[in-house]
Structure 1
């Protein structure tokens, strides 16, 4: 009889084991995680988040991998404790690069025809010098004042890169520039000087220093006046116009008349003097 409780317990345990193995195993439902939509950048790169029910600033910051301070800086309307969050509000949570737009393949561009290679610039300039006959001596070249023939023009670069001298002559084309032009002159600082023929006097300085750049064209003028040139002076001795010769003629006649009267008076006095000397003249 002492073994009866043990047998009963053993039978109970075996029954439980049998029932456990006979029932189909049921898998426990997997815990559902919190679902939230991942924000997609707009074409301009801005990223927005729609506030959900139960959101707080901390939760929104954690979901979008930013700090609460950054969230407040991007959304200045939020108060200190984020108590003014309303479901449906749109918050700016970041700024990224513009979203890539897939380009629609279009027609391939038409190849352009080959263009001619431009000629490289030589980096030279041109200096033109005119030695003119300054007829009126004013130091300015007038259109009617011609070039002086037989003069010499010298163009020299101060560092010795260029030096040339030409003799002045009359251009056969009266409409063309009458001076001398020095072409293909390298840019730099130049001494320009002129030598004039012996029968001329300079009316302006015959040397000049100029600085020329590549592509420029410089013009320099030098003037000289012929020693044979005379400048007419106004005649102030004839204020009366055509009456001056008549007055001169009358003056000459009066002068001759005066001389004649003087000579006649002198002749009249000579006989009287002789009578006084001979004592024949009565007192």
Structure 2
């Protein structure tokens, strides 16, 4: 009987120890069940991820549903081995529609199509985009307005069959024309073209455009942005304001002479009357 009692007691102790070890382990899994929400786009259209403690490039790419190569491509500041990743670093995940943004009134970027080449095409097209420094803010590029470096351009098929993102540059070609950011071998279809301006700029035109492209065409587009530091020039004072002082001086002189004349006349009128009294 003692053996049965000790056997039962040992079994109860084993069960208690088992539940004591497994229940905390299950409770520690609860934070993993919290759903992750992809960051919302900023006003300029960029989707930014803030690096947290324990993150690495592979986990960030997997968490946000993008490829590791795309993460490196959109964040050239990262080392190839992700060794310089630190908490608090901002990483660009992509470009999307802004959560709350009202574009400055201005025309939408109108694409232009280059003349077709006589050589046979491969069934794809090229889309070339320029982000230019809109100095006067009129959303129309002038010859003296050149490219802006550090922006992001995204070309995405509406059905998800194609997507690519590249950075804008501020360089000139042999003809002193701004170099555009080009997407080659783009399949024929309908695309959403989005632009994200760099820090310190405000867009002066629409930042998204739906584009229909046909095979063999080369489409040129331009988006404008203006520096936040540009301020309106002070107005030049009107030149006629300085002319008031000579006019007032002339009028004052005339009144002074008139007063002197009247005084002299009054003096002359009084002289005859004094002589008459003396007689």
The bucket for the TM-score relative to the shorter chain is 0.3 to 0.5
TM-score (norm 1): 0.41
Q: Which has the higher contact order (CA 8 A, sep 6+)?
A: 2
